[in-house]
Amino acid sequence: MNRTMLAAVAMLCLGSGCASMGVEPWERDVLAKAEMQLTTDELEAATDDHIYFSKEASSGGRGFGGGGCGCN
């Protein structure tokens, strides 16, 4: 059901709603900054994912769920 909802949101965005959202190419100065990327430090993100994967029963969300360790 979640997938259906997401697909619906995506379609809505593509179809109409989001088409008027956003910025022109010349307005991307702020968005282009390193600190405005969704993941600013891949290594730190990977470290956190690994720590919390090892100590909690949840993983993933931002990217793939992880694995590759016998810790959980």
| Greatest alpha-carbon span in the chain | 48
Question: C-beta of 27: minimal distance to another protein in Å?
Answer: 5
Question: C-beta of 58: minimal distance to another protein in Å?
Answer: 4
Interface with another protein, residue 14, by CB under 8 A: yes
Q: Euclidean distance between the first and final Cα of the chain, in Å? A: 28
* 29: exposed, middle or buried (Cβ count in 10 Å: 0-12, 13-18, 19+): exposed
Interface with another protein, residue 32, by CB under 8 A: no
Q: Which residues contribute to the site for another protein (CB under 8 A)?
A: 2-3, 6-7, 9-10, 13-14, 18-19, 21-25, 27-31, 33, 35-38, 40-44, 46-47, 51-52, 55-65, 67-70, 72
